[in-house]
Amino acid sequence: MFESSSGLDLAATHLNASVGPVVTAAHIAQALRAGSLQPLVGDPDVEAMVSFLFVEVQPQLIARCATEAGVNLLQAHALYIDTLEKLAPRAPAWEAEMEPFL
């Protein structure tokens, strides 16, 4: 039988697609829980890749990741704001999905 992958694993796999295994599900969960990239500053490659989470991953999957990490959408949005402050590009799809909650 097929096993269902976690959203965090799916997001990490997507971020790693072009470079190989750099980001783990735990990295994404840490950043979501912190609402910032701060927990990842010791590894600039991971920090840079996770900063593109909102650009590279569909909002529905990010919401699933947030739930799996034990945080709400506003905490996930705090991470998004932090990525923008670190000069990651805007993610129109994420912003459109979050608009009703802000």
Distances (CA, A) of 25 to 18, 63, 73, 87, 97: 17, 14, 18, 23, 23
pLDDT of 24-76, one tens digit each?
999 999 999 999 999 999 999 999 999 999 999 999 999 999 999 999 999 99
Give the pLDDT band of residue 1 (cuts 50, 70, 90): very low
State the pLDDT at residue 101. 84
Please give the torsion angle defined by the CA atoms of residues 14, 19, 20 and 23, in that order, rounded to the nearest 10 degrees.
Answer: -60
pTM: 0.94
For 73, residues 6+ apart whose C-beta sits below 8 A from its C-beta are 63, 66, 98, 101
Please tell me what DSSP assigns to residue 5. Answer: P
